[in-house]
Structure 1
Amino acid sequence: MEGERPPEFVEALAKGLAVLECFDAAHPDMTLSDIARRTGVTPAAARRSLITLQALGYVGQNGKRFHLRPKVMSLGSGFYFAARIDEFMAPELRQLVEVHGDASSVAMLEGADVVYIAHHSTQRARRATAVVGARYPAHATSLGRVLLAGLPDDALEDVLARMQPVALTSRTVTDKAELRRLILQAREQGFATTVDQLDYGITALAVPVRAADGRVVAALNSSGYTGLVTPEAMVESRLADLRAAAARLSAATARIPALSAVLDGR
């Protein structure tokens, strides 16, 4: 759990990584003060991290504003290739999109967020983008609800206690009691559906991807345009194919040590 740090924990490295993580679409470039505020570290600590990252080629500077450099992408590509995404996940997503259209993604749980590790889409509309590496609140996605449903009861309660659900649309569920009900429903049914929770126009259906021991280590979804597809229609037409694809990914996870290692959050 967060907060349980071993004696060997390197605080300076943690601060440096926090600096890298604080850049996003809404904050593509920032001043030293901005970065210190977003990371919760002192300006002096943020400055030391920035100087180090700049010397290593991960951060650039334009006047008083700092920005990420392309070298940062090498950090994520190690995970992508180690997990053999192109070999095992991408073909499943392409097949789902070929049959059903729209989009399909695989994501993992990071705290109260989901991180997309694979994605394929025919969609070009302006809406929340599920590119590889994208991070979204778990409470507002079908993937997140399936992943939360896969947690043991104590871990789920811990996440819910620390979660601060934000309304991303007028339909986003933010009441924790209702979220718990929906998550437990997803656990019982083995799937979750959402309509306009993350962004208007997104209806999605997700199922779990399990490790050899039965733990939920990832989630797979199929999404379409609200108004063109309903969650009931998705369950009827896509659930069987999603579960079959998830079973194949689960089998690959059990068979391929590298894939199992990168998906294993323990």
Structure 2
Amino acid sequence: MTQTTEKPAEFVEALAKGIAILESFDADNPEMTLSEVARRVGLSPAAARRSLMTLETLGYIGRKEKRFHLKPKLMALGSAFYFTARVDEILQEDLRSIVERFGDASSVGTLDGGDVIYVAHHSVQRARRAAAVAGARYPAYATSMGRVLLAALNDDELDQYLNEVQPQKLTSKTCTNTKALRAELMVARRDGYATTVDQLDYGITALAVPIRDAKGKTIAALNTSGYTGLTSPETLVAERLPALQEAASHIAHQLTRYPTLRSALGG
């Protein structure tokens, strides 16, 4: 979903370009040449070079021969949010409790454009699958948390999202038909939860519920997931939904005492 926030007069284009370059690196593009970076970000080679040189000087980007890569110093930016928002204190206790009770994994995420960003995660799983670490970003249509968050949009916002999104086949089961996706989102809106099976990656069956602020606005989502084949959406709903809803309510109550994270999540 395109974000149409108007740029203020104080908007710094150079800073925006630098951040766009940092965000252009991902699992499929861990190292890139200058021309590759420029192409992915939509900059001229000269503009991309200036930003890359600045980021390299600051220690956020490294270079081996003609290929650039991210450096560990960049993690300090993410950890700054983690600690200032007190994510561990506010969220991890409930995630650990869910995982201790049911096993598998549990996460909290929030919507950013058309993606869901994982804010916190706890897991006992060891299998190779799509990483659900804090900071991971995935298409909202392919995750249970993303669907709960999309279902909470008002009708105009949801129409805009569905008109703009171009779902990709991440697995053979990924729903890429926007009419079918809308129908599933309407069910999630009605039921107050969403389930997915092998939408993001094979082997992931998940259930998510909304986390709402004091005014009833959905600002985040909480999920629990297990291995497809060892569980099912019906089993997750029957065995875990009440506990998940209770944890979401507890997190919402916690957020009233921690305005920094509440504001960061949009509450």
Task: Give the TM-score band, short-chain normalised.
Answer: over 0.9
Match of 1:19 in 2: 21
SS in 1 for 2:69: strand
Match of 1:218 in 2: 220
Match of 2:260 in 1: 258
Displacement of 1:26 in angstroms is 1.2
Gaps of 5+ in 2: none
Report sequence identity in percent: 60
Is 1:38 matched up with 2:14?
A: no
1:44-100, CA deviations, whole angstroms, 9 ceiling, x for partnerless residues? 111111011111111111110111111101111121112211101111000000000
Corresponding letter in the other structure for 2:126: R
Match of 2:110 in 1: 108
Match of 1:79 in 2: 81
Are the aligned partners of 1:196 and 1:202 in contact in 2 as well (CA < 8 Å)? Answer: yes
| TM-score, normalised via structure 1 length | 0.97
Cα distance in 1 for residues equivalent to 2:185 and 2:42: 31
Displacement of 1:234 in angstroms is 0.5
Is 1:180 matched up with 2:195?
A: no
Displacement of 1:3 in angstroms is 5.1
Cα distance in 1 for residues equivalent to 2:254 and 2:265: 11
Equivalent pairs, count: 265
SS in 2 for 1:67: strand
Match of 1:228 in 2: 230
Q: 1:259 to 1:3 in 2, by over 3 A?
A: closer
Are the aligned partners of 1:90 and 1:118 in contact in 2 as well (CA < 8 Å)? Answer: yes
Are the aligned partners of 1:205 and 1:221 in contact in 2 as well (CA < 8 Å)? Answer: yes
RMSD of Structure 2 on Structure 1 (CA): 1.1
Match of 1:67 in 2: 69
Match of 1:162 in 2: 164
Cα distance in 2 for residues equivalent to 1:75 and 1:207: 29
SS in 1 for 2:256: helix
| TM-score, normalised via structure 2 length | 0.97
Cα distance in 1 for residues equivalent to 2:249 and 2:143: 21
Are the aligned partners of 1:203 and 1:223 in contact in 2 as well (CA < 8 Å)? Answer: yes
Are the aligned partners of 1:57 and 1:69 in contact in 2 as well (CA < 8 Å)? Answer: yes
Displacement of 1:255 in angstroms is 2.1
Match of 1:97 in 2: 99
Cα distance in 2 for residues equivalent to 1:168 and 1:193: 17
Query: What is the 5 A alignment of 1:232-243?
Result: 232-243=234-245
Q: Which runs of 4+ in 1 moved over 4 A?
A: none
Displacement of 1:184 in angstroms is 1.4
Cα distance in 1 for residues equivalent to 2:251 and 2:11: 34
